[in-house]
């Protein structure tokens, strides 16, 4: 009986596979992708010939499939990027086929009908996600499961801070400030920049409380970074451009001091000089320091000074233990000083409004195509670009992390218990 079911299902599966293949659809999505390409006008006409996108390689991973294509002359990567939604909607089209691979997953010892029902339901609700990249070949990754929309904060180790969870196997990704000292952060409003800055600071406070020194510039009216105003690790905090200049000058002087110290010792950098402290200059909304936006001459001069200091820190600071993180929600033109951008080998961009804005942050397009999901971002280093979901940190977690570091408050971890005075009932006797 079991043998009969097995062979019938197997033959059915093979027949189904042959059928789907005859319709240009195979068990993976390569056939469908090829059809989407030709139907959405990605082929190129060359006289009588039609140049198509050629599949060079396909590989299955635990998370889904990766396809590599040679693109025809006359097409660029951005032509394919512009069709991202077309690919995604095409692959998630509800007319689903059950494939041979799907049938192979079934357990023929158990209730086969129920399993088929479940499989069909799963097929109808499945939501594949697609990622495009280019390295001389067009790479299309089709993920079976969408990337999670929420990741809880967990601190990193040492100078490694959590950046987020990647799609491949939900793996946690870290940014190592010892390897890449400076970071540029961008993204349209309400997509998660400030949340990321908070999780970064809290991770550093957790893992390096005695060696992290913070120079904070919060030009969003102080609402984002004011929690750190009274902690031991904050050397200086600024809420206005005038105060920002002061904070940057302090950081710059400290940098010079370390430079002198290392020179005297004959060391090239803090690692060689065994200096353990690291100095983080964090500017939330660097756009507020853009001289091009200044109204008066004095304001322009002040902002130019700020930009000069940020550029010097970016240029000279890495070996001296200085890490600069510049965040902006208005990625236009020179909002991030050029030298700061050039010296930041890592960029993190949340969704932005246009391809131009994406180029300002990442030097490449792509961040404008991110889904409208809070915390979803592209993390880009010199050799890699990944989409990830950044961790969400709650106010309660922030408060509990900063509590032991608040200045002037000896914090004991035991709870104070308030002892009420014992009630004494007194009866007074009077002599009659
Ligand atoms: N990683 C995340 N995961 C889930 N939700 C998030 C994440 N980051 C932020 N959010 C949600 O988005 C809201 C806005 O985040 P945040 O304040 O960090 O945005 P922003 O980019 O700094 O915005 P603005 O530039 O306007 O200040 C948060 O209140 C939170 O609810």
- Whole-number pLDDT of residue 224: 85
Same domain, 72 and 178: no
Greatest CA separation for the chain: 129
Is residue 199 lining ligand 1, measured as CB closer than 6 Å?
no
Q: Which phi and psi angles does 131 have, rounded to 5°?
A: -130, 135
Residues 60 and 164 in one domain: no
What tokens appear for 176 in the block? 């190592």
Task: Kindly report the protein residue whose alpha carbon is nearest to atom 20 of ligand 1.
Answer: 190
| DSSP secondary structure code for residue 39 in this structure | H
Instruction: Give the model's pLDDT for residue 108.
Output: 77
Backbone angles phi, psi at 308, to 5 degrees: -60, -45
Return d(Cα 231, Cα 251) in angstroms, integer: 17
pLDDT for residue 106: 76
Q: CA of 332: how far to CAs of 336, 349, 356, in Å?
A: 8, 14, 8
C-beta of 181 in contact with ligand 1 (< 6 A) = no
- The closest of 231, 14, 429 to 6, measured between CA atoms, is 14
What does the pLDDT read at residue 423? 41
228 is in an annotated binding site: no
401 and 339 fall within a common domain = yes
What pTM was computed for the model? 0.77
The predicted-structure confidence for 35-72, as pLDDT tens digits, reads as follows 999 999 999 998 889 999 999 999 988 788 999 999 99
Q: Do 119 and 203 have their domain in common?
A: no
Same domain (yes/no): 137, 181: no
Encoded tokens for 327:
């965040």
> Confidence band (pLDDT; 50, 70, 90) for 253?
very high
Which residue owns the Cα nearest ligand 1 atom 13? 190
How many domains is the chain partitioned into structurally?
A: 2
Residue 18: which domain range? Answer: 2-143
CB 187 within 8 A of CB 329: yes
Residue 286 has pLDDT above 70, yes or no: yes
Ligand 1 neighbour 390 (Cβ under 6 A): yes
Same domain, 178 and 251: yes
Examine the domain organization and report whether 351 and 224 are in the same domain.
yes
Q: Is 186 in the pocket of ligand 1 (CB under 6 A)?
A: no
Beta-carbon contacts of 65 under 8 Å, excluding residues fewer than 6 positions away, are 28, 29, 30, 58, 59, 141, 142
Pairing of strands 278-284, 322-328: parallel
Asked whether residue 259 is domain-assigned, the answer is yes
């Amino acid at each position: 009986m079991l043998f009969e079911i097995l062979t019938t299902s197997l033959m059915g599966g093979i027949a189904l596979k042959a059928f789907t293949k005859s319709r240009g659809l195979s068990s993976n999505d390569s056939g469908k992708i090829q059809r989407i390409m030709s139907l959405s006008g990605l082929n190129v006409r060359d006289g009588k010939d039609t140049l198509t996108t050629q599949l060079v390689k396909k590989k299955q991973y635990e998370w889904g499939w990766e396809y590599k294509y040679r693109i025809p002359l006359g097409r660029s990567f951005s032509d394919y990027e512009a069709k991202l939604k077309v690919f995604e909607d095409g692959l998630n089209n509800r007319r689903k086929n059950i494939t041979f691979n799907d049938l192979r997953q079934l357990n023929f010892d158990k209730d086969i009908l129920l399993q088929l029902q479940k499989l069909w339901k799963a097929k109808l609700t499945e939501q594949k996600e697609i990622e495009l990249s280019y390295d001389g070949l067009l790479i299309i990754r089709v993920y079976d499961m969408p990337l999670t929309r929420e990741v809880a904060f967990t601190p990193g180790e040492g100078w490694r801070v959590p950046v987020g969870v990647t799609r491949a196997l939900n793996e946690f990704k870290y940014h190592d400030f010892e390897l890449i000292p400076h970071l540029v952060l961008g993204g349209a409003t309400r997509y998660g920049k400030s949340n990321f800055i908070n999780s970064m600071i809290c991770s550093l406070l957790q893992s390096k409380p005695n060696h992290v020194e913070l120079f904070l510039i919060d030009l969003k009216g102080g609402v984002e970074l004011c929690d750190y105003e009274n902690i031991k690790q904050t050397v200086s905090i600024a809420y206005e451009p005038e105060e920002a200049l002061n904070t940057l000058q302090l950081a710059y002087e400290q940098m010079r001091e370390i430079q002198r110290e290392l020179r005297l010792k004959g060391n090239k950098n803090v690692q060689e000089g065994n200096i353990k402290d690291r100095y983080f200059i964090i500017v939330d909304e660097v756009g507020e320091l853009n001289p091009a936006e200044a109204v008066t001459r004095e304001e322009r001069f002040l902002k130019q000074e700020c930009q000069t200091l940020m550029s010097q820190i970016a240029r000279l600071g890495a070996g001296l233990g200085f890490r600069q993180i510049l965040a902006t929600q208005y990625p236009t033109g020179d909002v991030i000083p050029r030298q700061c951008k050039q010296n930041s080998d890592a960029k993190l961009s949340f969704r932005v409004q246009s391809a131009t804005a994406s180029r300002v942050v990442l030097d490449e397009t792509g961040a404008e195509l991110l889904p409208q999901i809070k915390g979803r971002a592209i993390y880009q280093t010199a050799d890699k670009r990944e989409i990830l979901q950044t961790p969400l940190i709650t106010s309660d977690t922030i408060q509990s992390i900063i509590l032991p570091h608040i200045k002037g408050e000896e914090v004991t971890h035991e709870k104070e218990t308030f002892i009420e005075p014992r009630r004494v009932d007194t009866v007074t006797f009077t002599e009659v």
